[in-house]
Amino acid sequence: MWQTHVGMVWWMLFSGVLWIFFWVFIVGALTSLSGPRGRATDPRGQAAGAAPGASQSPDQITARRYANGEISRDEFQAIRDDLETAKTAPGTG
């Protein structure tokens, strides 16, 4: 009488182990797809997660944005003039 249920018990235990492996696989896949870990660097050599242009001067950032077409020539000149004014203003530095 008990012999018929033994196979079902083993299948229940085995399926529980399979579910654990399934969730470990899902979590591992999501973790590996979420991005680099540690102090990885992007192709420009900046630390991953660092603010873009964190080690660049305002003049360099403005020149890069102008070169990439993010700002127009008028905007570039206005920003450059503002930066020059800020550099020569008393009490800055």
Q: What is the pLDDT of residues 18-67, one digit of tens each?
A: 999 999 999 999 888 876 665 555 555 555 555 655 688 888 999 999 99
Is the same domain home to 26 and 60?
Answer: no
User: Residue 11: which domain range?
Assistant: 1-30
Residue 17 lies in a domain: yes
The CA-atom distances, in angstroms, between 7 and each of 2, 11, 14, 16 are 10, 6, 11, 14
The CA-atom distances, in angstroms, between 71 and each of 54, 57, 65, 93 are 19, 17, 6, 27
What is the reported pTM? 0.40
| pLDDT score at 86 | 85
In the chain, the number of structural domains is 2
Residue 74 pLDDT greater than 90, yes or no: yes
Is the same domain home to 93 and 60?
Answer: yes
Q: How many beta carbons lie within 10 A of that of residue 7, not counting itself?
A: 9
Residue 41 lies in a domain: no
